[in-house]
């Protein structure tokens, strides 16, 4: 059985190799090439055959991506929020929606953003108060979103908004695709404490969404959002490196431009994780490696990061062996926060006043200072440590939940005081 599958995987990858040798052209335009990929189905082989895929398994699809990498051919657009949009559409979208959006997701022509968090609902995402009011064949949108990566160059947004204030919190939400290029949508960059601006705020003032852009049914928005979030978590660790950009040809020039734009918000992410990889080098450069007190802290960090690495490998090995997920699979994010905090402390102790410098006299182009001002984000972004601990305690350890104060019609739930109550 297994060898049969291996056999057919090998046949498929051979076929893809053949197809690439017949069709691949580094002098083609990026969109032109990806359009060919989308129509052939080889650019997203795990998608259904009706929608630009081949209906193959994720494993076979990964093997096909390896063939592309070996061949040096460019694949479909995989970066940013667009793949979350694709996964959500594939699961909850109707036929027209899939036909309309999926191809241009693969070609990279359309940029997408996610419009979930609000100033008044961060950890409690389902407490969103952005309104969507049906007016004839259109929904009218009013409210504010925040932490929207790439919203400033997005064509479309994935939006959750409240369509029913008399339903319970999770049941009054609906999920939409909104055209970002319209009056009534204002995007403002949000500056962070580390000097980068990776996120935006988005303001809606009587913005409009045609009724056919509702995904799934009105009131089912939370279920749809869960799909998006599940894929966001899965892509959390995906490497953003692309080794193919070194190659030559018109298509690579266009690809580099695309990657520069889509990777720009993430340049500080390695520093956010604490750069434990730099610690030994800095300790040797400064002589801290010879100080017994510093050695203790460096050793603590090494223990923590090695243990976290092995724990992730245990989780992966268990998953590969088809075993039920153990607790080790849910702990990565909390471990990452712990590593980042400790690494920032160790870097501070090693570099002392040099840790502060950002200018031309700084060590390694100001990277230590960037670590220090970026690490506080790691335990907030993508679910705070406090929420992670709730999840681990309740779902992994099976501990009882906190008492709730947000049941019943959402209209009556106590919320952040706003200048203007959006429920009225």
Partner 1 sequence: MAFIFTEDQEQFRDSVSRFLKDKSNTVEVRKLMATDSGFDPKVWQQLSQQLGMSGVHMPEELGGAGFGPVEMAVVCEEMGKSLYCGPYFASAVCAASALRLAGDEAQQETLLPEIISGEKIACLAVSEGRGVWTDEVFSTTATKTDGGHLLNGHKRFVVDAANAHSLIVVATDDQGIGFFVVDAAAQGISVTALESMDPTRKLADVQFTDSPAQKLNNSQPEQLRILVDIASTALANEMVGGAQTLLDSALSYTQLRFQFGRSIASFQAIKHRLADLLLELELAKSAAYQAAQTLADSALWSANGQIAHVDKVTEHASLAKAAASEVYLHTALECIQMHGGIGFTWENDTHLWFKRAKSSEVFLGTPAEHRERMLTALCAQSTDLRNSA
Q: Which residues of this chain interact with partner 1, rule CB under 8 A?
A: 280, 289, 292, 295-296, 298-300, 302-304, 306-308, 310-311, 313-314, 316-318, 321, 323, 327-328, 331, 334-335, 338, 386, 388-390, 392-394, 396-397, 399-403
Inter-residue contact 65 to 53 (CB < 8 Å): no
Please state, in angstroms and rounded to a whole number, the distance separating the CA atoms of residues 169 and 171: 6
**Which of 271, 294 has the CB closer to partner 1?**
294
CB of 61 to partner 1, least distance (A): 25
**Which of 95, 404 has the CB closer to partner 1?**
404
Q: Which of 28, 67, 70 is nearest to 252 (CA)?
A: 28
**Which of 224, 298 has the CB closer to partner 1?**
298
**Which of 360, 400 has the CB closer to partner 1?**
400
CB of 262 to partner 1, least distance (A): 33
**Which of 113, 288 has the CB closer to partner 1?**
288
**Which of 62, 317 has the CB closer to partner 1?**
317
* Buried-exposed string 106-122: b where 16+ CB fall within 10 A, e elsewhere: bbbebbbbbbbbbebbb
CB of 4 to partner 1, least distance (A): 24
- Structure tokens of 208? 């409009």
CB of 384 to partner 1, least distance (A): 11
CB of 345 to partner 1, least distance (A): 15
3-state secondary structure of 214: strand
Beta strands 199-210; 185-190: pairing state? antiparallel
Q: In DSSP terms, which residues pair with 146 in a beta bridge?
A: 201
CB of 299 to partner 1, least distance (A): 4
Please state, in angstroms and rounded to a whole number, the distance separating the CA atoms of residues 200 and 146: 6
CB contact set of 230 (below 8 Å; sequence gap of 6+)? none
**Which of 322, 360 has the CB closer to partner 1?**
322
Please state, in angstroms and rounded to a whole number, the distance separating the CA atoms of residues 20 and 13: 10
Inter-residue contact 198 to 268 (CB < 8 Å): yes
Inter-residue contact 235 to 262 (CB < 8 Å): no
State the Rg of the chain over Cα.
24
Inter-residue contact 324 to 313 (CB < 8 Å): no
Residue 229 buriedness (CB in 10 A; 0-12 / 13-18 / 19+): middle
CB of 236 to partner 1, least distance (A): 17
**Which of 328, 354 has the CB closer to partner 1?**
328
Residue 158 buriedness (CB in 10 A; 0-12 / 13-18 / 19+): buried
**Which of 236, 310 has the CB closer to partner 1?**
310
CB of 383 to partner 1, least distance (A): 13
Please state, in angstroms and rounded to a whole number, the distance separating the CA atoms of residues 347 and 274: 9
Q: In DSSP terms, which residues pair with 131 in a beta bridge?
A: 142, 162
CB of 291 to partner 1, least distance (A): 11
């Amino acid at each position: 059985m297994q060898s049969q599958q291996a056999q057919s995987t090998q046949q498929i990858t051979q076929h893809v190799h053949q197809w690439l040798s017949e069709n691949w052209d580094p002098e083609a335009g990026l969109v032109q090439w990806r359009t060919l990929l989308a129509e052939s189905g080889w650019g997203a082989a795990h998608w259904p055959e009706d929608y630009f895929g081949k209906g193959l398994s994720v494993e076979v699809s990964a093997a096909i991506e390896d063939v592309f990498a070996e061949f040096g051919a460019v694949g479909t657009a995989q970066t940013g929020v667009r793949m979350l949009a694709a996964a959500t559409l594939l699961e909850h979208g109707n036929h027209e929606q899939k036909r309309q959006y999926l191809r241009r997701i693969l070609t990279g022509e359309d940029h997408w953003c996610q419009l979930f968090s609000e100033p008044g609902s961060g950890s409690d995402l389902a407490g969103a108060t952005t309104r969507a009011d049906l007016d004839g064949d259109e929904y009218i949108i009013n409210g504010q979103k925040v932490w929207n990566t790439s919203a400033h160059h997005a064509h479309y947004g994935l939006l959750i908004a409240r369509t029913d204030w008399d339903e319970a919190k999770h049941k009054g939400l609906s999920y939409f695709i909104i055209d970002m290029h319209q009056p009534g949508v204002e995007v403002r960059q949000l500056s962070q404490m580390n000097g980068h601006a990776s996120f935006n705020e988005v303001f809606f003032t009587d913005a409009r969404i045609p009724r056919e852009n509702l995904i799934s049914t009105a009131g089912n928005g939370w279920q749809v959002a869960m799909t998006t979030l599940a894929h966001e978590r899965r892509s959390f660790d995906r490497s953003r490196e692309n080794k193919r950009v070194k190659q030559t040809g018109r298509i690579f020039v266009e690809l580099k431009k695309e990657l520069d734009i889509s990777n720009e918000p993430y340049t500080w992410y390695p520093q956010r994780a604490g750069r434990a990889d730099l610690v030994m080098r800095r300790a040797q450069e400064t002589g801290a490696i010879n100080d017994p007190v510093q050695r203790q802290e460096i050793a603590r960090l090494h223990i923590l990061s090695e243990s976290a690495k092995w724990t992730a490998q245990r989780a992966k090995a268990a998953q590969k062996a088809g075993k039920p997920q153990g607790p080790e699979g849910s702990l990565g994010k909390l471990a990452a926060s712990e590593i980042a905090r400790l690494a920032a402390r160790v870097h501070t102790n090693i570099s002392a006043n040099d840790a502060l410098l950002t200018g031309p006299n700084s060590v390694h182009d100001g990277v230590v200072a960037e670590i220090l001002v970026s690490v506080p984000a790691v335990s907030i972004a993508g679910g705070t440590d406090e929420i992670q601990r709730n999840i681990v305690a309740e779902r992994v350890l099976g501990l009882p939940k906190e008492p709730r104060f947000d049941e019943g019609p959402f209209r009556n739930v106590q919320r952040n005081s706003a200048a203007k109550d959006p429920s009225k």
